[in-house]
Amino acid sequence: MTSPPNPDYAAYIAGLPRVLAGAAVLFRDGAGRVLLVEPNYREGWALPGGTVESDAGETPRQGARRETLEEIGLDREPGRLLAVDWVPGTARPPVVAYLYDGGVLAEEDVKAIRLQEEELLSWRLVPRDGLAAHLPGALGRRVLAGLDVLSEGAGTAELEDGRRRTG
C-alpha cells in the first residue's frame, strides 16, 4: 500500500525555481552551410527546434525531432548532442538549450523542406561566416560551438549564454 504524498514535500517542489528547456537541430548542406528558419512571431532567425513539452513527458531529443517535423517537414532522429547551453533569464525563466546534429542534407532533402506556415516565414542556407549576421547573441555562439564540435570530431560543448565553459 502506498502512502499519500507528503504535503511538505509537494509544497517544496512547487516552490522550486522553473527552468525552460529548448531543443534544436543543426542541419548542414554539402557545402557546409547551416539551415536557418525565419519565425513570424519574433525578429531574427533560428534553427529548426523549439520548446520541449516536458509537461507531456517529452525529452529534449524527442522535442527536437517533433519540432523539426512540424517546422520543416523532415522526420529525422537527431544525431549526437553537440552542445548544452544555460541561457539566463531576463523577461522569461532561464533556458537549458540542447543542440543536436542533424547531419548533412542531401539535395533531395533540401527540396523536401516544407515550412510550417503558422510559425515560419522562410528558410535559407547560410555559410559559417554569415551566421553572426543572422544569429546574434547566445544562439549564434551556440551554433558556432556546435560547428566546432563537429569539426573536432568528438565531445559536447558545455556553454553558458553561448560561451564555452572552461575549467
Task: Output the nine-digit C-alpha cell for 130.
Answer: 554569415
d(CA 27, CA 84) in angstroms, rounded, equals: 17
pLDDT score of 86: 96
Domain boundaries, the chain: 17-164
What pLDDT was estimated at residue 70? 97
Q: What long-range pairs does 73-78 form, CB within 8 A, spacing at least 24?
A: 73/112, 73/113, 73/114, 73/115, 73/116, 74/48, 74/109, 74/112, 74/113, 76/25, 76/102, 76/103, 78/23, 78/25, 78/102
Could you state, in chain order, the average pLDDT of each consecutive group of 10 residues for the chain (167 residues)? 71 81 97 97 94 93 97 97 93 92 97 95 97 94 97 94 84
Cβ contact 16:104 at 8 Å: no
The distance from CA 33 to its chain's CA centroid, rounded to whole angstroms, is 17
Which CATH architecture is the domain 17-164 placed in?
A: Alpha-Beta Complex (3.90)
Q: Residue 81 pairs with which residues in a beta bridge?
A: 100
User: Which pLDDT value is given to residue 149?
Assistant: 97
pLDDT at 166: 72
What is residue 154's predicted lDDT score, i.e. its pLDDT?
A: 87
Task: Say what the pLDDT of residue 98 is.
Answer: 98
Supply the pTM of this predicted model: 0.90
Q: What is the pLDDT of residue 15?
A: 81
